Amino acid sequence: MKTLLSIFLFLSMFSFSFAVSNKFGLGIVIGTPTGLTGKYWIDKHNAMDFATGWSFREDRFYLHFNYLIHNYGILKKVSQKSELKGDIPLYAGIGLRAKFGKGSDEIGFRIPLGITYLFASMPLDTFLEFAPSLNFYPETDFFVDASLGIRYYF
């Protein structure tokens, strides 16, 4: 279990190391989880993101790490007609999630599906995400995470 926690923490710190590249955003997220979120853009269509937080209801630490692919074509006409002049890509990906703390630990896969708004005039994005998730440790369990957030890009 300590090895898996170490891997998750390493991946989170790895994401933080990109903050100086102007492609890294950091912000807040509410839902599952509620806490801190970060995103690193590899290129215009591919990104890695993470979120971490503390669940006071469950008294546990939450962490997820995802690889995301963005599609700008589906809502391109909407974003071109918008007065906000930003991009509105839909995205999908695959990732890992874990909860550690009182009671039992959980580890599983997640498939994030979402929409993000990339502001044209500010280094901000907002997002809404649903993530069907399948735990594989300590037992198999299926559920859907949902979150809403905002990030500022450095």
CATH label of the domain that carries residue 53: 2.40.160.20
pLDDT-derived band at 55, boundaries 50, 70, 90: confident
List, in sequence order, every residue forming a beta bridge with 71; answer none if it has no partner. 90
Q: State the Cα–Cα distance between residues 73 and 147, nearest whole angstrom.
A: 23
In the structure encoding, which two tokens stand for residue 31, read together?
Answer: 């839902």
pLDDT reading at 80 higher than 60: no
Most confident of 33-42, 79-88, 98-107: 33-42
Angle among Cα 60, 103, 53 to the nearest 5 degrees reads 5
Q: The domain containing residue 37 runs over which residues?
A: 2-153
pLDDT in tens, 86-144: 889 999 999 999 999 877 899 999 999 999 999 888 899 999 999 999 999 999 999 99
Confidence of residue 16 (pLDDT cuts 50, 70, 90): very low
Note the pLDDT of residue 8: 52
Residue 125's φ and ψ, nearest 5 degrees, are: -140, 155
Specify the pLDDT at position 151.
Answer: 98
Tokens of 120: 């044209």
User: Helix count (H) and strand count (E) of the chain?
Assistant: 2, 9
The predicted model scores a pTM of: 0.82
Total structural domains within the chain: 1
